[in-house]
Structure 1
Amino acid sequence: METDCSTPDTTAPVSAAPLPVGTRLLHIGPHKTGTTSIQGALFAAKDAMAARGVDFPAHSRHPMEAALAVCGRPGMMGDARPAERHWGRLVDAVHATGGRTSLISSEFFADAPDDATVARIVDALGRDRVHVLVTLRPLTKIMPSQWQQYVQNGLRMGYEDWLDHMLRRAPYEKPNPSFWRRHRHDRLVERWARVVGAANLTVVVVDDRDRGGLMRTFESLLGLPCGLLAEVPDTSHRSLTPAETEMLRILNREFRGNGLPDEIYSKLVRNGAVPRMKNACRPSSDDVRISTPPWALEAAAAIGEEMAERIGATRVRVLGDPALLSAVPSPPPGPARGTARIDPEAAAQALYGALAVVAAESVRAAAIRSVHQTPSGELVRVLGHRILKRMKRR
């Protein structure tokens, strides 16, 4: 279906003139600002974009390892630390595009800790051609989503306790020091603008009322036809429900309390149980929503107002309405906060996902697939075969 772009939408970001041909557009997120959606759309349309002079040089939808490596960050809990070769491979791919326009997108670039790291990134990509793009959403919407993402990476702290630490306990670094490095958006913009210059940085305030607005903004900046970028359905990146998050948080507590290796968590939980549960179970409208208490909404909105003022003072280009960053949202529709009860189907699928990883290890390279793509029958047969062999040995 083609998108009708002839009718103006008052909720959409202001249309921007295309960047000069040959620009290397560097989208740095930060997290929870539509990055997964736009990266999926860009990767799906990479051939169509290339035919129109815009290259997506990354070898995957999201060059996470490259961004983590250049920012000096470790990988996810239990994963191998990203190597410098990951960053070098991405830089080589960017330079291979020659004089064409290109686009690189990873929210982990927002984790660059200082001006020196930012300068290293920009210089490697070609300082005279880089234009930085920052996408922003209100903190009030980012905080619940970011908390449950931290839980997926091993966090054991409950939501309201976590909010208390992030908003009330200076210096606001525990338990997740990365949060304010990413989401103190004014400082993020200032840090990158000091290196690339205000004229080479654009901020897009995402309006959640217009689902296609971010896609249209990327199309405008890259000089692409309206409607070329389209959202790619991907249930593996849906948010967890409160009940699913609570189950995982309690599992994290037991995991840490018993001193199990991080590698086991990465393999069986984050890359086994969680993606299986996300793909196999679709939350219903009856699921209880993660509820942010009023005091935290007001505190986050006040920070958003301060950030919008400071971003305006940098004189970078801002597309969209900065007032959205300080708006206090109305209570979401749906059931009020109550007792979080895990759906037995979700619990069963999570357990199966972990078991399936064990079984999948015995599948040879020609048959290797991600857990949620491997037929259940095949995994059950392999797992059963391994169990029988062990029983015979005993």
Structure 2
Amino acid sequence: MPAQRSPQTAQTARPAPLPAGTRLLHIGPHKTGTTSIQGALFGAKETMPAYGVEFPAASRHPMQAVLAACSRGGMIGDTTPTERHWQQFVEQVAAGGRKTSVISSEFFADAPDDATIERVVEQLGGARVHVLVTLRPLAKIMPSQWQQYVQNGLRMGYEEWLEHMLRKAPYEKPNPSFWRRHRHDRLVERWVRVVGADRVTVVVVDDRDREGLMRTFEALLGLPDKLLQPVPDTANRSLTLAETEMLRNLNKEFRGNGLPDELYSKLIRNGAVMHMKNACSPTSRDVKISTPGWAVEAAAGIGAEMAERITAMGVRVLGDPALLSAVPKPAASDGGEEPRMAPEVAAQALYGALAAVAEAGAGRPGARGVHQTSSRELVRVLGHRCLKRLRRH
């Protein structure tokens, strides 16, 4: 019997391309390089057809369509996706004919049951579908996922949230989606039940190789090396600890005063937070979100269990499964520093909220854009509109 390749050898070997005509379905989950690969695929959308590969989406991420397919509502305050979103996307995929195509959305990981997975697979190509799962260590996912939940209204602090996720059975409050997405062995198992182990590939992402995931996608799709390139996306950056704490406390005030969800979507997430992330980049002085040692150890233990179970399923694993249980070294800045937000960052967040209110009326005849309005008038307009909304509710 030939000797098995070590994980390190498997990690560096270039995988063979999938059969022509495959529909490569990348299901995430969240915080495993999904936004980066989606940006690179969309950036190469016009180039890939020359190599027989289609990216059948009108935008970087067909989020509305996938949310509808997985029976999930949108982000807080956003319009609920409809079945029509999904059917339009299915039609776009079908238009690719017999070409190889690649579909990517981390929200496929939220599929609630086997019946939903079966429907998704059947409508996207049935036997042509090959599922790709990208994984990172839980210890690296947890802080990023917590601040993302805060961007959608969470009011719980990080350490309390970790207590609920890791120590308080049934580990579902306040975010039941966390383990649905990030108990990775069960996630892989659900999709294996539908498509079979031979049509599932798991990629363990190595953060030391910043472009390794793109090279893996190129190999599986039969694309030339370096065709996929990173696309900067400041709107997707993680928040610093100070920014997250500012937003978390704002969430408390928002909920405490009973304001409507649509205001949160427009003024906070798509106004204050979006403008702040686009206008300001973290510096070396900013304190990052730090995971306490007990939680890192717990995450590493769960990671070891997941790696063992995934390996035993018979799926193809690219990368080193041992990375899923590695304990990261504490960052040099993890010294209990007080998180402080720079005044200019707070100003950009406030301006983003003001701009969102002003832009809400830009579609009316004679309306002026934000940059045509004086600061005094912008404040007056903001106050008037907020008072009207509060009286209405």
TM-score of the superposed pair, with normalisation by structure 2: 0.92
Report how far residue 172 of structure 1 moved.
Answer: 0.2
- Equivalent position of 1:316 in the other structure: 315
> Matched residues in 2 for 1:275 and 1:91: separation?
30
- Equivalent position of 1:48 in the other structure: 47
Please give the secondary structure, in 1, of the residue aligned with 2:133. strand
- Equivalent position of 1:303 in the other structure: 302
Query: What are the superposed Cα offsets for residues 239-293 of structure 1, whole Å, 9 maximum, x if unpaired?
Result: 1000000000000001011110011000100000001000111111111111100
- Equivalent position of 1:260 in the other structure: 259
**What is the correspondence of 1:262-341 to structure 2 with a 5 Å cutoff?**
262-334=261-333, 336-341=335-340
The percentage of counterpart residues that share the same residue type is 70
> Matched residues in 2 for 1:220 and 1:361: separation?
45
- Compared CA separation, residues 209 and 292, structure 1 to 2 (3 A): same
- Equivalent position of 2:233 in the other structure: 234
- Equivalent position of 2:154 in the other structure: 155
- Equivalent position of 1:6 in the other structure: none
- Compared CA separation, residues 247 and 390, structure 1 to 2 (3 A): closer
Cα pair 1:13 1:217 within 8 Å, conserved: no
Query: What are the superposed Cα offsets for residues 80-118 of structure 1, whole Å, 9 maximum, x if unpaired?
Result: 111001110110000000000111100000000111110
| Gapped regions of structure 1 (runs ≥ 5) | 1-8, 369-373
Between 355-364 and 10-19, the greater mean CA deviation after superposition: 10-19
| Gapped regions of structure 2 (runs ≥ 5) | 1-7, 386-393
> Matched residues in 1 for 2:300 and 2:257: separation?
39
- Compared CA separation, residues 365 and 65, structure 1 to 2 (3 A): farther
> Matched residues in 1 for 2:121 and 2:35: separation?
22
Letter in 2 for 1:188: L
Please give the secondary structure, in 2, of the residue aligned with 1:51. helix
Cα pair 2:358 2:369 within 8 Å, conserved: no
- Equivalent position of 1:378 in the other structure: 372
> Matched residues in 2 for 1:73 and 1:193: separation?
22
Please give the secondary structure, in 1, of the residue aligned with 2:154. coil
> Matched residues in 1 for 2:72 and 2:145: separation?
18
Cα root mean square deviation, aligned: 2.4
> Matched residues in 1 for 2:166 and 2:382: separation?
53
Report how far residue 311 of structure 1 moved.
Answer: 0.3
Report how far residue 234 of structure 1 moved.
Answer: 1.1
> Matched residues in 1 for 2:195 and 2:16: separation?
19
Cα pair 1:74 1:82 within 8 Å, conserved: yes
- Equivalent position of 1:101 in the other structure: 100
How many residue pairs match? The answer is: 378
Cα pair 1:289 1:336 within 8 Å, conserved: no
Please give the secondary structure, in 2, of the residue aligned with 1:46. coil
- Equivalent position of 2:79 in the other structure: 80
Please give the secondary structure, in 1, of the residue aligned with 2:163. helix
Please give the secondary structure, in 2, of the residue aligned with 1:132. strand
- Compared CA separation, residues 97 and 287, structure 1 to 2 (3 A): same
> Matched residues in 1 for 2:330 and 2:259: separation?
40
**What is the correspondence of 1:1-80 to structure 2 with a 5 Å cutoff?**
14-80=13-79
Report how far residue 366 of structure 1 moved.
Answer: 11
Cα pair 1:12 1:207 within 8 Å, conserved: no
Counterpart check, 1:344 vs 2:343: yes
- Compared CA separation, residues 127 and 297, structure 1 to 2 (3 A): same
Query: What are the superposed Cα offsets for residues 149-193 of structure 1, whole Å, 9 maximum, x if unpaired?
Result: 000000000000000000000000000000000000000000001
> Matched residues in 1 for 2:365 and 2:33: separation?
34
> Matched residues in 1 for 2:202 and 2:66: separation?
20
Query: What are the superposed Cα offsets for residues 32-67 of structure 1, whole Å, 9 maximum, x if unpaired?
Result: 000000000000110011221110001110001111
Letter in 2 for 1:118: I
- Compared CA separation, residues 353 and 138, structure 1 to 2 (3 A): same
- Equivalent position of 1:112 in the other structure: 111
Letter in 2 for 1:267: K
